Amino acid sequence: MRTAAEPVEVRRPSAVRVLTTLLAVTAAATVVAELLNYWYAPEQEFGLAVRTGWAMLRSLGFLVLIGHVNRSRVAAKPFGLILAITTVFAVGRLVVPRAGVPPLPGLLGFGVLTALCLAVVVLLYRSDAVGGHLVRHRKGLVVENGVLSWREVTPKRAPVTGWLLTARVAAFTYSPLMLVPALVAGGSILDGRLSAVPAVLFWSAAGVAVSWLVLFCTEFVVRNRAWARKLLVLITLGTLAVDLPLCWWLLGLDGLIRDGAPLLTAALLTLYSLHRATPTPTPTPTRARRS
């Protein structure tokens, strides 16, 4: 069995090179903005440390996105959109303290990061050169006519629309957006609030269960199954019904705003994407009656 040669790589368009550079700068800006927020925070408590660490992990997400762009992956667009939106929320919720005026360095860092995320989204969705570059699917081992090759694996299913991909990526954020506040609420257990133990355990278990439900459901959503879309809507509503009341009860109004708002945004984006991806039935033309 012989191995097929790899195709010659074509030089990327200038807009794609600008995008990869912008993503690297955004990853670095995420870390800097979070460090500034944590440094100038009046109280460097457990919850702030957890939220700061989670926000800083998004810098790794931008590095993963660079890999998707370099490989011309179709999924780079929805992944970049969700990453940019949730990053702005993750950083923005830490800029405003519980009391007083936000520190100027934190506001400047948030402003710069917001501008960078906006530029990333504009390049991903408004640049024709970037759109023409992001056309490939994942690679895998393919055996064809006795030849083993590592090349793009074209899905056997029908082409997936961008809105379905966006709904899938947005739904994947449900689980971490539930587990982070659950971990923050776990800090109250360390402070002696033992009555919160069952709720925190239930919250964590629900976050893990949602990840598996979304993984199963979205596999059929991208196959354009109507029942899977309805199931994803039910999962979305159930996720909000569990997460928002627990945020209010265990973390208060501050936690509801800081941790509930990002999940609500992801849920609304999922529902909107499913609505936009729903095919509109074309009316059947009626035949003119013979005179």
CATH number at residue 224: 1.20.120
23 and 105 co-located in one domain: yes
Sequence-separated (6 or more) residues with CB below 8 Å from residue 50: 180, 183, 184, 187
User: What confidence tens digit (pLDDT) does each residue in 126-183 have?
Assistant: 888 888 888 775 555 455 555 555 555 555 555 557 788 889 888 999 999 999 889 8
Residue with tokens 């903005």: 33
70 and 97 co-located in one domain: yes
CA 62 to chain centre: 11
Entry pTM? 0.73
Residue 259: band (very low, low, confident or very high) from pLDDT cuts 50, 70, 90: confident
Element of type H or E holding 90: helix 76-95
* Integer CA distances (angstroms), 92 to 51, 87, 168, 261, in order: 11, 8, 24, 11
Element of type H or E holding 20: helix 14-40
Phi, then psi, of 240 in degrees rounded to 5: -65, -40
40 and 117 co-located in one domain: yes
104 and 181 co-located in one domain: no
Q: Which domain holds residue 46?
A: 12-137+145-154
The domain total for the chain is 2
- Contact status, residue 267 vs residue 284, Cβ threshold 8 Å: no
30 and 149 co-located in one domain: yes
99 and 166 co-located in one domain: no
180 and 76 co-located in one domain: no
